[in-house]
Chains A and B, each alone.
Chain A
C-alpha cells in the first residue's frame, strides 16, 4: 500500500500553484459541465478563473448536497480537555512559549462539561487537546473515552498524532473518528510555523491519516489551516491527500474542514488572506469534487457567513463552542485556543437552521457498532 508521502513527493509546490493560476474560463466551464470531476477540474474550480462562476458553483453544490444528504445538518460540539502543549506553533494560543495558565480536566470536570453538552442536546462530541504526551497521552485519552462513552453515540478526537497501535487501542474503546489537519503542505512554511516539538516532524504528521486508515478507523477528518500559505495550493494538496486515502482505505469515511486563521492571544497575522468569497468557492469546489464528502464548519466563522453556508454544501456544524478546557461550565474564563466568531446559543442557532427548512440531526451513529 502506498503512503501519501510518495504521492506528495511527485509534486512541486510552485508548479502546482502555477497550474492552478493558469486555468482558464474554458477549464472552469468544462469542470462545471461534468458529472464526475477529477483533480484537474478541482484546480479549475479553485482557480481565480472560477470567480465569475461562483453562483453556478453554489447552485450545483447545493443541489448535490441535497441529493446526497437531504435537508439535514449534523450537530457536534467540541470539548477541550487540556490546553497543555509541548509544541510551538506560531498561530496557536496554546503554544508552549505562551505564558498562560495550563490545565487538564479531571474526571469530575469532564463529567460536568459533558452534562452541560448533553443538556443542550449534543450526541456527537469532539475531544480536543494540545500535544502533551505526558499529561494527555494515549492512556489519558483512553480513560476519557471510557468515561464518556455511554453518554455519546459518536466520539471524535482532535489531538496529537498517534501510532497505529495507539489508534487501534482507542478504536477498541469506542473512538469513531479522528481529525488531523496538515496545516500546510508547504514543507518550508510548515517548518517555519512549527519550529519546535514533535509537531515539527512534517512527515510523521503527513503519515497520520495512513496510520489511521491501517488502524481501521471509521472516519478521518482532513483540512489545512488557511492563511499560512496560498490557500489554493494547500487546498489542492488536501484534495490530493483525500483522494489518495479514499482509494486506499476505502472502508473509511472522510470529512473536510476549512479552518481560517483566527485571532488568538499572541496573534499571528495571516500571510495570505482568504476572503469569505474564497472560502465559499473552496467549499463548493470540494462538494463538486465529491458529493459524498462530509463538509464541516466550526464557530470560527461569523453569523452571517454560517447562516448562508449551511445551504451551500456544509453538512456538519457546531454551535456555542468553547475552545478552552472547562469552557462550558468548569472554568469559563480560562484561555481559549482561538476566538470564536459566532457566539449564538445552540437554541438560537438550531432555530435558524429549522427556519431554513433543515432538519437538525443530533444522533447519526450508534456507538455499539464497533
Chain B
C-alpha cells in the first residue's frame, strides 16, 4: 500500500506519521509504541537528552536504522537561543534537521511567529533543514517558505490539548497554497483527528501526547498508523462531494439559445 512516499529535503519517508518522545512512562514503552506506529521521524527535545552520553536512555532506545531523529528546540524563547540550540544539536546528534519551536509563553506553549521567522531565516542560511512549529497562519507559512524552510508544521489546537483540528479553516488554506509539505502538529488527540488531517490533504501529522498518555501506547501507536494510512488513501481516492449539484432557479444561460 505504501507507494505514496513523502520526501522532505534529502529524506524519503514511507510513513506519514511523525511521533515524539515526551510523556511516556518509560523509554521501553516509548520505543515499542514508536515501533508499532512505524514512524520514521521522531522528535526529541534537546533539553531532555544527554547527547554527550552514549548511554542516554532515550537515544539508546531510538537507535534503529529506520528511525531518524528530529531534535527540537523546545524551551528556547528567542531566535538567538533557537539558533544556538540547533547548533548544539547538530554537533551532538549529527543531524542538520531541526524542529524549530520557540514558545516564550510557558502556559500554553504557543509559538512566537516573529522569533520563529527570524530564526528560520538564520538557520536556513546556516544549512539546516528547518521544520517550524507555528500557528495555523497561512501568511506566516508563505513567509517561512520564502526564507527556505523545508516544510511547515501548523498546529491543529494548543499543544497537548488533544482537541483536534480547531484550526481547520486555516489549515485548508495553508494546504491549498503551500509549495512545501504541510505537517499538522499539536492538538491531534485521536486517530480520527489524524485521519481527518490526512483527508484534508496534509502531508503528514505529528503525534506525541495522544500516544504517550493513552492507556496502551503500543496499541495506540498502531491505531495512529492505520488512521494516517486510511486518511491518506481517502485523500488520494478523492472524497465524494458533501452536497448535490445546485439546481437552476432562474435561467442565467438562456440567452445562449442552447
Which of A's residues lie within 8 Å of B, judged by CB? 2, 29-30, 32-36, 40, 53-56, 58-60, 62-63, 246-248, 250, 276-277, 280, 304-305, 307-308, 311-312
Contact = CB atoms under 8 A, between A and B. Distances in A.
Contact of A30 (B142, B240, B258): B240
A36 B172 contact: yes
Contact of A308 (B172, B245, B247, B252): B252
A56 B251 contact: no
Given A54-B258, A304-B255, A59 B142 contact: no
A33 B258 contact: no
Contacts, number: 62
B253 A55 contact: yes
B177 interface: yes
Interface string B67-95: 00000000000000000000000000000
A36 B246 contact: no
A247 B177 contact: yes
Contact of B244 (A33, A40, A58, A250): A33
B99 to A, nearest CB: 24
A149 B244 CA distance: 50
Contacts of A248: 179
B252 A277 contact: no
A250 B253 CA distance: 34
Interface of B: 142, 172, 176-179, 238, 240-249, 251-253, 255-256, 258
A280 B256 contact: yes
Contacts of B238: 30, 40
A10 to B, nearest CB: 15
| Chain B interface main SS type | loop
B179 A55 contact: no
Contacts of A29: 241, 245
A248 B177 CA distance: 9
Contact of B252 (A2, A32, A53, A59): A59
Contact of B247 (A54, A56, A62): A56
Given A36-B172, A250-B142, A277-B256, A60 B246 contact: yes
The 3 A-B residue pairs with the shortest CB-CB distance in the complex, in nearest-first order: A33-B241, A58-B252, A55-B248
A59 B243 contact: no
A247 B240 CA distance: 26
26 contacts: A29-B241, A30-B238, A30-B240, A32-B241, A32-B245, A33-B245, A35-B242, A40-B238, A53-B245, A54-B258, A55-B253, A56-B247, A56-B248, A58-B252, A59-B246, A59-B249, A246-B177, A247-B177, A247-B178, A248-B179, A250-B142, A280-B253, A280-B256, A304-B255, A305-B255, A308-B255
